[in-house]
Amino acid sequence: MALWTLAGDAPLEAEWSVGDRVLELPSEDSSGRYQLFRVVGVVRLGDGSWVVANRGDGRLLWFDPRGGFTRSAGGEGEGPGEFRSLISLALRGDTLFAHDYLAARVSRFDRSGAFLTSTALAPEGGRFTFDLWPTATGLVGNTLGTGLEPTTGEPTFQRRISQYVRWNDDGSWGDTIATRPGRESYVAGRPMEGGGVVMTSVAPIVSHRSEQAWTVAGLAVAATDAWVIDVYAEDGRLRASFRSPERERPVTDAEWDRRVQARMERTEEEEARRWLLDMAADRRETILPAFGRFLSDPEGYLWLAPESVPDDGPVRWLVLGLADASLREAVLPRGFSPRWIDREAIAGIVRDDVDRESVVAYRLRR
């Protein structure tokens, strides 16, 4: 196992940035053939065409390299190739993998949009799977582990686990690759008349969780309450660990007060506001999340989003080279949420002032 310690004061490698736009898919087609709403995935095929996973209507949308709409597949429903809750899209070779969260299955399409087959996922205990990645040997996903325990006593901080597992070809539960800390919640319960408990949970003021991505090196996963990223092989071996404790940021008094105030301003109900104040008084966080979500690219880089976006100016991601522990900075436009990265381009979602979505791709300057 390779252990890498990245000095927090070491200079970063050359900066990466975006160039000209190479694609722009408007929120609505002028002919009414599609409307982008709750886009959950973007991929580029080998011929330069694009496929967008549109959760709003459960369809996969195909566009030519210049952005012209060509066809769609899927749709809302429970039949073959349809979706109850389309939440992600991935590409392996010439096959598209679309994950239906509520139906607990993954459907496969060829690059022309023809439905191939689907696999029902049957994890132990009926637990749901969130992130799902097609690998060279099968499917790997993040399945939510043990749940929050109801309590009728004082509210408590509870942390679920994330289990990263493989599925057998028939969709049955396979081997566990890793078990890691997941999302934390502040939990309280109230007894109901006639028995049972009504449970309420909210995210802590400073919310720590797991972030993960499937990379060319394997599963990269981290709990955000430390600057530690571990990479696992499919058989569960820990292949590499990257650490940079000097990059961990303490929660200053001013930052803590700002975050408490921001949560209070977003909360209207008086009872909920009192609960938030009780939570803030119960535990004051000491460290900010080390990073936001992860993305990977086929060149062997792991892209680390910042935990919070600045009020103005561009957004600076860190890019970790998994082969050599190099660390770069990528400067991306404010308001751009990337979903796909390859050698030449970076594509993602942009929202306008009234929250309409469009898909934009930029040339990537490496």
Residue 57, domain CATH: 2.120.10.30
Q: Is 282 among the domain residues? A: no
Structure tokens at 238: 């820990």
* Per-residue b or e along 98-113, where b marks 16 or more CB atoms closer than 10 Å to that residue's CB: bbbbebbbbbbbebeb
Residue 143 shares a structural domain with residue 261: no
DSSP 321-352: ETTT--EEEEEE-TTEEEEEE-SSEEEEEEE-
Residue 148 shares a structural domain with residue 265: no
Question: Per residue of the chain (366 residues), what is the pLDDT tens digit?
Answer: 899 999 887 778 879 999 999 999 999 988 889 999 999 999 999 999 999 999 999 999 999 999 999 999 999 999 999 999 999 999 999 999 999 998 989 999 999 999 999 999 876 655 677 889 999 888 999 987 666 776 667 888 989 889 999 988 788 888 899 999 999 999 887 777 777 777 788 899 999 999 999 999 999 999 999 999 999 999 999 999 999 999 999 999 999 999 999 999 999 999 889 889 999 999 999 999 999 999 999 999 999 999 988 778 899 999 999 999 999 999 999 999 999 999 999 999 999 989 999 999 999 999
Residue 272 shares a structural domain with residue 125: no
* Per-residue b or e along 192-207, where b marks 16 or more CB atoms closer than 10 Å to that residue's CB: eeeeeeebeebebbbb
pTM value is 0.93
Residue 260 shares a structural domain with residue 146: no
Residue 9 shares a structural domain with residue 158: yes
Residue 260 shares a structural domain with residue 160: no
> Which structural domain range is residue 130 located in?
2-249+287-365
Q: Is 12 among the domain residues? A: yes
Residue 115 shares a structural domain with residue 31: yes
Residue 57 shares a structural domain with residue 22: yes
Residue 312 shares a structural domain with residue 200: yes
Beta carbons within 10 angstroms of residue 328's beta carbon: 17
Number of domains in the chain: 2
Exposed / middle / buried, residue 3 (Cβ in 10 Å: 0-12, 13-18, 19+):
exposed
Single-letter code of the amino acid located at 235: D
pLDDT of residue 311: 77
Beta carbons within 10 angstroms of residue 60's beta carbon: 25
Q: Is 211 among the domain residues? A: yes
Sequence-distant (≥ 6) Cβ neighbours of residue 182 within 8 angstroms: 144, 145, 159, 160, 161, 162, 209, 210
